[in-house]
Chain A
Amino acid sequence: MHYRRWVVRRLWLGILVIWGAATTSFVALQLLPGNPALVIAGGGNNYPSEATLRAVERTYGFDKSIVTQYLTFLGRLLRGDFGDSYQLHQPVGSILSSQAAASAELAAGGAIIGALVGVAVALATAGRPRAAGAARCLELLAVSTPGFWIGLVLLSLFSFDLHLFPVIGNDGVSSLVLPWITLALPVAGSTSLVMREEMEQALVQPFALTVRARGVSESRLRSRHLLKHTAPPVLTLSSWIVGQLFGGVVVIEQVFARDGLGQTLVAAVEGRDLPVVTGVVVFVAVVFVLVNFVVDGLYLAVDPRLRRQPA
């Protein structure tokens, strides 16, 4: 019974967030100075005639009232129709689906590498003051360094100086190595910072002593018993990491001149391409809602205490 209420509440919140994202971007782009019809007709340098502009306004519905435009906009979104890009004259849906894969492999790879490294470092250094101190310094550096700078330095070192990896572009795994490392560093740093703190707290609890007294080896204690205890805070962190990953993807695609959603968004913001910006914003909001939904579900799976009295 409680479960159902929880799921309904989460769904309702999710829909609210997605609606908010759509509305925010609609309002934001209404506030933009200038005339979108001019953008569609090829920009100010094209000097489109008054008649052309009127025709464009009619086709895209700019001559209707704001309320009508907003309702048409929402109605189309419900049917999954984001409209056509002003600049590329293609359906936004197909632009998104063609660009999302490139960004997804970048983000997923960075997240997986980062999480694995973070977990490994935390497991190896928790409760060992010297190692933990050294690791903490490196982690602090990793989370404090702007991603685009790490990217630039790696690029100038490994691509321009040592010629180990391609400089730019989207071909194959070799072009993904440097972007992955750039994206993974802050993920690894924050994961292991949080995890180690949690493990060190678990290490001084009575159950750890009990497990040791049973003659269980140190590494087994860590991997079998302590790891579980770190799950809830790491889950909390993970939804934050997803947000960071998105920001990381935007700047890293810029640094390495890769195709993807980030490049698409920056170009659309510069070119004031309303349907594309809206598409990306709504897409990101949907991904976020789904991720948070899964994370909240995982809390219940990981922490039996929550199952007794779900909020």
Chain B
Amino acid sequence: MSTLDITHEPDPGRAASGLLVTGNLRARRPSVVAAALLLALLAVAAVWPSAFASHPNQPDLGAAFRGPSPTHLLGTDQLGRDTFARLVHGTRTSLLIGLGGTALAAAGGALWGLVAALGGRIADEVTMRIADILMAFPSLLLALVVVSVLGPGQENVLLAIGLSLMPIFARIVRIQAKVVASSLYVSSARGLGVSPLRIVVGHVLPNVGPSVLVIATMNVGGAIIAGASLSFLGLGGSASSPDWGSMLAETRGYLQADWWLPVAPGLAITLTVVALSVVGRAMQQRAKGSGR
């Protein structure tokens, strides 16, 4: 579950402070721009890491535990590998797990929610009780159980995170789809003989889409942290391609030798998650402002 999905509940009292909210939005605009820039930079690093640094896996035992310097911007680790290069090359894995896990959760959850909303009472009851059961588990526990079944590895971590976030999307899509399905224009369309499939594709999905996108943006950060946590626990697999979580896990044995080691990968995760939630909040407020 994302850190911020607590804020999306509709609240009648919020109208009173509407002025305050827009004021905040304007004040926060530079931070939104900065966050978007950072995310763009991360996207480039994920697609084309060699643009920033090369040789993330080249050991140089003579140069282990160096502090930041012009040759090694963020210093070197216990094997003398360049921390900056490893960070840049780890971007792809970390973003892939965050984005991929969330996308899987959004797609699966949307289908799940549509089935619940439009599939009749029994389908609704059964699918939503399953969602209740899954949401009674802390998402990390759920992901741990999934990884323990599928085995460690980056793809399985992605799957585990996708599955553990799915019920959140299912619930939101179900409520929204129910609202749309009970609206006048959908019942008119039905009266005109439009097929159920066309109603779902033409009317329900376009109405549900924007809020799924907002909730997804809010959840990517949580998914990145969950992915890093799992690879910190040693379940991410593959030592050859670095990722931020396993970089942190490796530092655990060398804290005494070099306190600086865990700083950079941790900051990378935190900054990414902060940037995502700043952009997500701005998107959410825009969605609210446009009179959903």
Contacts and interface: CB of A to CB of B under 8 A. Distances in A.
A243 B148 contact: no
A291 B285 CA distance: 32
Dominant secondary structure of chain A at its interface with chain B: helix
A24 B133 contact: yes
Contacts of B138: 242-244, 246-247, 284, 288
A292 to B, nearest CB: 8
A265 interface: yes
B151 interface: yes
> Chain A CB within 10 Å — which of B141, B251, B255, B269 has the most?
B141
B136 interface: yes
Which residue among B134, B138, B145, B278 has the maximum number of chain A CB atoms within 10 Å of its CB?
Answer: B138
Nearest to A143: B3
A16 B147 CA distance: 24
Contacts of A21: 133, 136-137
Contact of B149 (A13, A29, A237): A29
A228 to B, nearest CB: 14
Contacts of A33: 151
A152 B136 contact: no
Given A28-B145, A281-B137, A152 B248 contact: yes
A23 B263 CA distance: 41
Given A140-B274, A247-B140, A31 B266 contact: no
A243 B139 contact: yes
B263 A153 contact: yes
Contacts of B37: none
Interface stretch (A43-51, A74-82, A173-181, A250-258): A250-258
Interface stretch (A200-208, A210-218, A294-302): A200-208
B17 interface: yes
Contacts of B11: 201
A17 to B, nearest CB: 4
B265 to A, nearest CB: 8
B140 A246 contact: yes
B73 interface: no
A194 interface: yes
Contacts of A247: 138-141, 229
B259 A156 contact: yes
29 contacts: A28-B148, A31-B149, A33-B151, A145-B266, A146-B225, A146-B229, A147-B229, A149-B270, A153-B263, A157-B259, A190-B3, A200-B17, A204-B17, A205-B13, A243-B1, A244-B1, A244-B138, A247-B138, A247-B141, A250-B144, A265-B141, A265-B144, A266-B233, A272-B148, A277-B148, A281-B137, A281-B141, A288-B137, A288-B138
